[in-house]
Amino acid sequence: MSDELRRATVVVIGGGQAGLSAAYHLRHRGFVSAVEQPDAERTFVVLDANPAPGGAWQHRWESLRMATVNGIFDLPGLAQPAVDTTEASRAAVPRYFAGYEQAFALPILRPVHVVAVHRADDDPDGDLVVTSDRGSWTARAVINATGTWTNPVLPRYPGQDTFVGRQLHTRDYVRAEDFAGQRVAVVGGGISALQLLEEISRVATTRWYTRREPVFLDREFQPETVGRETIAKVMADVAAGRPTGSVVSYTGLSWTSYALAAKARGVLERRPMFKAIEPMGVREADNTFTPVDTILWATGFKADLTHLDPLRLLGELGGIALTGTQAATEPRLHLIGFGPSQSTVGANRAGREAAAAVVRLLRAQVPARPATRLMSSATTTVPNR
């Protein structure tokens, strides 16, 4: 780490859809690179933990094609090029993001793993300090866009450690062929669970388990109606400081092409959750035994926010209350790609809203104080161009 506490007016954490949207809108509002022009009046930098552009998309499974993904909204200021619907999303989306970063000369440092964000002192108009594995930054405001991919939900069941087969999460999945000829338990009631169930069932014997009976929509998903209703519900939870659930818990499941295909082949047969795991399989809810070679936990993700723990943002209800994108108890911090802005279109809007709110905050604050120095070893970071 550098022994100097580097400075940016705004630090954006995360270089996925939400982070890129925030970076674009900061640039559009006159903020410049904190790497190239550190002494400018208003600067920003993006710290991204990934090794390359693309956010979580670069880690998606091989078979997830552009025809299958749930719509990727254009980033602000630059439409996506023509898309080959048969191309893997893990290739197409990162290529688009990389071109976007270059087109707008966004100051992105990677890979940078942020380990903590804390207050520099007790002054409510003072700085926040962002500590990473490649040095620390002070900032007047922080926009957090870390997403969920690095925080998978992994349930625990009795006997789980005795299982002699393979256990993996959605984030570990690569291709259906890896399961050929096996007996596979797919656990989860979300969109990814259905996609993987349909794929794997073509080469393996599958069993589908969920905690609750899945609810399928009896009508087509309409953004203007169901979409708006869903966002309103999530916003109400976030404003109240309640933890938010998965997207499906608000919307229900749509009859997508892969859900219909699974139903047509008779594999969309839900079982209640097994009550225990044994060395060679699972003990069903009715106490019968089912032999299993692999358990795939398609159980979703939660927001990756452990680095914000020093700010003590969690309220009595267990969630983080937001006013717009601002944390209610820490207005210098914005959360985007979180709660109601988890969709790609929502992330775009949240990036714009956060940038606008930062400008308002700066107008109300006293002038920034000079950066101080930290005792640590030296390193150098360079922007990704």
CA distance 34 to 37: 5
List strands edge to edge, sheet with 205-210: 166-169, 294-297, 183-187, 205-210, 270-272
Whose CA is closest to 120, among 337, 382, 332, 324? Answer: 332
DSSP characters over 275-292 = SEEETTEEE-TTS-EEE-
Residue 363, CA distances (Å) to 42, 325, 353 in order: 12, 18, 16
CA distance 112 to 333: 19
The dihedrals phi and psi of 139, each to the nearest 5 degrees, come to -150, 150
The answer to whether residues 108 and 15 touch, using CB atoms and an 8 Å cutoff, is: yes
The dihedrals phi and psi of 233, each to the nearest 5 degrees, come to -65, -45
Q: How many helices (H) and strands (E) does the chain have?
A: 7, 20
CA distance 1 to 378: 5
The answer to whether residues 280 and 292 touch, using CB atoms and an 8 Å cutoff, is: yes
The residues, ordered by sequence, that sit 6+ positions from 360 with a Cβ below 8 Å of its Cβ are none
To 10 degrees, what angle do helices 89-103 and 17-28 make? Answer: 10
In this structure, the dihedral spanned by the alpha carbons of residues 265, 271, 277 and 283, taken in order and rounded to 10 degrees, is: -110
pTM summary value: 0.86
For residue 354, give the H/E element and its range.
helix 344-364
Each residue's pLDDT, cut to its tens digit, for the chain (385 residues) gives 455 789 999 999 999 999 999 999 999 999 999 999 999 999 999 999 999 999 999 999 888 888 877 667 899 999 998 888 889 999 999 999 999 999 999 999 999 999 999 999 999 999 999 999 999 999 999 999 999 999 999 999 999 999 999 999 999 999 999 999 999 999 999 989 999 999 999 999 999 999 999 988 875 544 444 456 666 666 676 667 777 766 666 667 888 888 999 999 999 999 999 999 999 999 999 999 999 999 999 999 999 999 999 999 998 888 899 999 999 999 999 999 987 777 777 888 999 999 999 999 999 875 545 544 443 333 333 333 3
Question: What is residue 71's predicted lDDT score, i.e. its pLDDT?
Answer: 64
Tokens 């108009």 correspond to what residue? 125
Question: What is residue 297's predicted lDDT score, i.e. its pLDDT?
Answer: 98
CB burial readout 278-297, b (16+ within 10 A) else e: beebbbbeeeeebebbbbbb
Coil, strand or helix: which one is 326?
A: strand
Q: Which amino acid is at 19?
A: G
To 10 degrees, what angle do helices 344-364 and 17-28 make? Answer: 40
